[in-house]
Amino acid sequence: MDKSKLNNKDLKLLSLLDLNSRESLAHLSKRLGISNQAVSKKIKNLQEQEYFKFVTFVDLFAIGYNNAHVYLKLQGYERKDYENFISKVSDIKGVSWVAELFGDFDLGISFFFKSQLELAIFIEKVNLIGKNKIKEKEIFFIKDHVISNVIFDKDVQKICNKIEITDKHYTLQKQEIALLNKIKSNSRYSLYSLSEELKLNPKTTAVYIKKLESLKIIRWYKIIPNYEKLAKMYNICLLEINYGQNVQDLIRFLEKEKSIPFISSTFDNYIIFDYISQDYQELKFYVNLLKNKFEEKILHYKLFSIEKVIKNGERYE
Domain residue ranges in the chain: 171-214
Q: Mean pLDDT across the stretch 114-123?
A: 96
Asked if 16 contacts 31 with a C-beta cutoff of 8 angstroms, the reply is yes
Residue 168, pLDDT above cutoff 90: no
- Cα–Cα distances in angstroms (integers) from residue 234 to residues 101, 111, 118, in the given order: 10, 20, 30
Q: How many CB atoms lie within 10 A of CB 170?
A: 16
> Which class is domain 171-214?
mainly alpha
At 126, is the secondary structure helix, strand, or coil? Answer: helix
Helices (DSSP H) in 132-240: which residue ranges?
Answer: 174-183, 191-198, 202-214
pTM for the model: 0.92
Residue 176, pLDDT above cutoff 90: yes
Q: What is the pLDDT of residues 187-232, one digit of tens each?
A: 999 999 999 999 999 999 999 999 999 999 999 999 999 999 999 9
Please, is 5 exposed, middle or buried when counting C-beta atoms within 10 Å of its C-beta (0-12, 13-18, 19+)? exposed
User: What integer pLDDT is reported at residue 154 of this predicted model?
Assistant: 87
- CA–CA separation, 258 and 311 (whole Å): 25
Q: What is the pLDDT of residues 264-310, one digit of tens each?
A: 999 989 999 999 999 999 999 999 999 999 999 999 999 999 999 99
In the chain, pLDDT over 70 holds for what percent of residues? 99
Q: What is the pLDDT of residues 4-48, one digit of tens each?
A: 579 999 999 999 999 999 999 999 999 999 999 999 999 999 999
- CA–CA separation, 124 and 101 (whole Å): 22
What burial letters (b/e) apply to 87-125, b meaning 16+ CB within 10 Å? eebeeeebbbbbbbbebebbbbbbbbbeeeebbeebeeb
